[in-house]
Structure 1
Amino acid sequence: MNLSRTRVALLLGAAGALLLALVIVSPVLLTGIPSFVGNGGEQPDCSGGDTQNEEASDTAASDIPDDYLELYKEHGEKIGVQWNILAAVGKRETDHGRSDLPGVKSGTNHAGAAGPMQFLISTWGGKARIEVSSRFNGYASDGDGDGIGDVYNPADAILGAARMLKRNGAPENVRRALFVYNRAWWYVDQVETIAKRYAKSGEVQVPPQADDSCDDPLVEAAPSDVVAKILAYALAQRGKPYLWGGTGPDAFDCSGIIYAAYRAAGLSIPRTTFVQWPFGVKIEQGNEQPGDLVFFNSGPGTSADNPGHVGMVVSKGKMVEARCRLCGPIKVTGYETRGNIVGFTRPLQHPDVQAQLKKLQSATL
């Protein structure tokens, strides 16, 4: 998945002329253009296809309680994972909460798991009922809006399971996500078999990854040629693996791909997420544009004031990110439905970057 060499060459060759015009008029023009302007057309969805249109089979309708089926579909759509995979996990774990085994309705089982989706209490938050806040990094979730993550509440537990599957690779890499959920390949096989029975098509639908044709419109819609160069580099890394501490060319971590993309445009920004966050000028959500950074309260030792994960905005609601080792390759994903966004920044408005832009302009004279 790469842009054509001719396309990249044209972008690089045009940078000097456009950059000169932008800087001479005003440094603000380089980064102050209204968000997501460009060719005027609707931006393509580069995150893949929709997995939520799968109809329930007669088996699903007869086997899954109505309230559970509604929750599987609601939270599957909200988080972006296959509802029938969620339902299959619920079936395999506790028969959709109908099991009378220890840990399903109260207490824990021998492994310390509890609730209809059988979460380890340690991953839920250390106790079965916990007040849910933006500062919490576990899977305790509030699926019914009461402010409490209750591992025995189907609404909360199913939302938590959807978040866990999403974090670990779903919907693209379902088998990897299921293996992280319960580390046994026989378990993965059993859940997939159940999920296929629950789908009218008899399949577990996996969204296709977007190809080169999705990249060009994103680059062309960039608010400046500098941003176009940054996006061109970042998008060309899609499909490469995550590597903690990686800055390319073969693998990257979340901040490494951003650092490398800006460097490809001749600009130097901080290397790590923890330093990238205070570096850029803060942007209100809704005013972000391509090339801006979106930060998340995610990862060990992070908080609402100290985000540990970052992605780069490529179009409205979409970002390119290197998420984690078990989350699949670098790809374009959605950020608007994630509940742990800390904020947005625009590195191009930092005074140091503005000075770098002027030096680049001088070098072209």
Structure 2
Amino acid sequence: MSSLLARTATGIGCTVLALPLLAALIAAALLGSLLPGGVSAAPSKHALADIPPYMLALYQRAAPECPGLSWTVLAAIGKVESDHGRHPTMVSSAGAVGPMQFLPSTFKAYDHPVPPGGKKPPTPWDPVDAVYAAARLLCANGARNGKNLRRAIWHYNHSDTYVDQVLKIADGYAIAAPPATGPAARAVAFARAQLGTPYVWGGDGPSEGGFDCSGLTQAAYRAAQVSIPRVAQAQYDHGPRLPKGAVLAPGDLLFFGTGPGAITHVALYTGHGQAIDAPRPGAVVREGPARTNSPSFQGATRPAAPDSGGR
């Protein structure tokens, strides 16, 4: 059996699916749900010390209202606007009110549906209503799937200085991922060198016209002298797996599908909530939001871990 036929028989990670499922997953990919963000970042010691536990849980609960939005951005806005509700009056000179400092007229555009635990009717004074409305405002202005986060924050407050301040605070609220070193760094460098290469079903590299998702990740680790299997499911099974909620590091592989035994896509994490993948026919190798908060995200592995055979 040829290598291509063997891959067909076992199912290439991101392409061989039953037709109804394939159609559904392609549609999901177009909505940005198949690609992996460090949006589920663990809170840093600074975040735990600075954010009241109730507000921290609320920011984390509300962030998925906007796919691809990190809870750290909501928390940073809450910090700038009212110190997480600690401001004594929470009324600005412009008439903005509540913990997220909404003008009442602006709040009305984003106050529905009423979130679990929100007030009826919703009010910008209520933390639950306000944080969910903030997530929706950001989503409507560029935060969805990380398309243009700076623009989204600018729409919250029309100031580049404000945007820089929010992003700096958000960065400090997340546990910093360790930098890529050794084989992981070489795998990331190889993947970045392939940006713009066409997606080719079953492709293992430029000699075949391009890559598919697992062909790219296997080639990246081959360049780093780490051997991993060919297809996405086999790469997921190969491990070593990271515990749920672990801080991702550059070089980690991110896996997507309908379940742990139905992995259909793999991407290479590059740090700062970004990942490189070969997404689908008609596309090219690209780098974009990791989207680890997607319902299809099944977990991550670290092929270059010291006990995994990396060197």
Bigger Cα Rg: 1
**TM score, norm. by length of structure 1:** 0.40
